[in-house]
Amino acid sequence: MRDPLELFRKWFEEAKASGLDLPEAMTLATAAAGGPSARTVLFKGVDERGFLFFTNYESRKGRELAANPRAALVFHWAQEPRRQVLVTGSVEKIPEAESDAYYSTRPVGSRLAAWASRQSRPIAGREELERAYAEAEEAHGDDPPRPPYWGGFVLSPETIEFWESRPSRLHERLRYVRDESGEWQAGALAP
């Protein structure tokens, strides 16, 4: 396949159809002055710009992306056929209107939680979080607007690597690299 985004969509649809729990879970790796870090976030779509995800911009990952707007994503689907996809590239915020549109589709509880949680910041305990949630519910009711510190990012892929398990650890690996003209160049890698 010449277009790695088309191949990714095919693999993602196959992972969803397989009954795999949370096929949209992906590892997001960032790096800033403190060194590399990784966490699992939810993939929310892919388009001509790249791979979309949403988060609190003031979280550790948000601050790291502000300091160094480059990242890697890893999708790992452990169910047969066992597959992984590794994506690297630059990251930028998406337009506020697009973040607003997605935010409005989230369950009310999740929207209130975005107001209540100062993600990645220390708290005294669960009670503090529950109190902040109650305050958000009091302030915003059942239609909370998007907090100004919450929204989407898009990772514009520069490399996409596909890995599929094979017997005797002779796995299949295919890497696509975007060249200077924006075209994708594909090549096999040793496992």
Give the model's confidence band at 167: pLDDT under 50 very low, under 70 low, under 90 confident, else very high.
confident
Q: Which long-range contacts (CB under 8 A, 24 or more apart) does 97-102 make?
A: 98/152, 99/54, 99/146, 99/150, 99/151, 99/152, 100/146, 102/44, 102/54, 102/152
Kindly tell me if the per-residue pLDDT of 123 is higher than 90.
no
Tokens of 101: 């549109």
126 is catalytic: no
Q: Summarize the confidence of residues 61-84 as an average pLDDT.
A: 95
- Select which of 63, 121, 166, 169 is catalytic: 169
pLDDT tens digits along 71-81: 999 999 998 88
Q: Out of 3.40.50.970, 2.30.110.10, 1.10.3720.10, 3.30.365.10, select the CATH number for domain 4-104+148-188.
A: 2.30.110.10
Q: What are phi and psi of 77, to 5 degrees?
A: -115, 105
Q: Summarize the confidence of residues 59-84 as an average pLDDT.
A: 94
Q: Read off the amino acid at residue 94.
A: I
More confident residue, 129 or 30: 30
Domain(s) of CATH 2.30.110.10: residues in the chain:
4-104+148-188
Strands (E), 68-124: 70-77, 83-93
pLDDT of the residue at 158: 98
CA angle 39, 37, 71 (to 5 degrees): 85
Model pTM? 0.92
Nearest Cα to Cα of residue 149 among 117, 104, 106, 122: 117
pLDDT tens digits along 125-160: 899 889 988 999 999 999 999 999 999 999 999 999
pLDDT of the residue at 121: 83
Give the model's confidence band at 45: pLDDT under 50 very low, under 70 low, under 90 confident, else very high.
very high
